[in-house]
Amino acid sequence: MLWSKPEKRFKGTWEDRLDGIFSAGVTYTGKSVLDVGCNMGVVAYEISKLRPSSIHGIDVLRPHIETARMIFLGSPVESRFDCLNLGSQKLGRVLRPRYDIVMLLAIYHHMQASIGQKKAREVLADIVRRTQTIVARVPPRKDRELIELLSGEGFSVKGTHVSPLGSHVIVLERY
């Protein structure tokens, strides 16, 4: 059997996807976390090791959500993973009124591509009005656009970090 080459399966590595998330001054312990576009829950699982009070993940791909649910069977952290398109009308019923931290990791440009610029912006506004703290990751050169959008929603940048592969982690707080 051939050894796998992860870089051929998706962009980046889990190491790079996690880079900066735990060194950006955000305390996850005891906090309720929303992971938007949570993929297979690997990042959420790493966060769960710091004992947040809860993790809620949303992703459009069913196999990803089923994997996340399986992974979290072994975690004591309260969790919920919903298979949902962020453009769906159901989103408002699925989201909690408040989260301590919203993770927007490599998701906003995917939302723009899959549900359109206007809808992506509306959905972003609906999600971020529920929190005080955002941890975002964007590809190189996409950081300004997201910062501008989120400053329009009342957030300012508290910290930034560039990963080895060049993605930008941005921590924003409501001012």
Residue 97 has a CB neighbour count (10 Å cut-off) of: 6
Report the alpha-carbon distance of residue 129 to residue 13 in Å, rounded: 31
Stretch that binds ligand SAM, among 55-63, 72-80, 92-100, 141-149 (CB under 6 A): 55-63
User: Among residues 55, 68, 111, 150, which is the contact residue for ligand SAM, using CB under 6 A?
Assistant: 111
Binding mask 22-51 vs ligand SAM (x if CB under 6 A, - otherwise)?
---------------xxx---x--------
Enumerate residues 6+ apart whose C-beta is below 8 A from 104: 36, 37, 124, 127, 134, 135, 136, 137, 146
- The reply on whether position 106 binds ligand SAM by CB under 6 A is yes
- The reply on whether position 150 binds ligand SAM by CB under 6 A is no
User: Among residues 87, 149, 157, 158, which is the contact residue for ligand SAM, using CB under 6 A?
Assistant: 87
Report the alpha-carbon distance of residue 26 to residue 157 in Å, rounded: 13
Number of residues lying near ligand SAM (CB under 6 A): 20
User: Among residues 19, 59, 100, 143, which is the contact residue for ligand SAM, using CB under 6 A?
Assistant: 59
Stretch that binds ligand SAM, among 66-74, 83-91, 127-135, 150-158 (CB under 6 A): 83-91
Report the alpha-carbon distance of residue 43 to residue 26 in Å, rounded: 15
107 closest CA partner among 124, 93, 130:
124
Report the alpha-carbon distance of residue 125 to residue 146 in Å, rounded: 12
By CB under 6 A, name the binding residues for ligand SAM: 17, 37-39, 43, 59-61, 64, 85-87, 105-107, 110-111, 114-115, 137
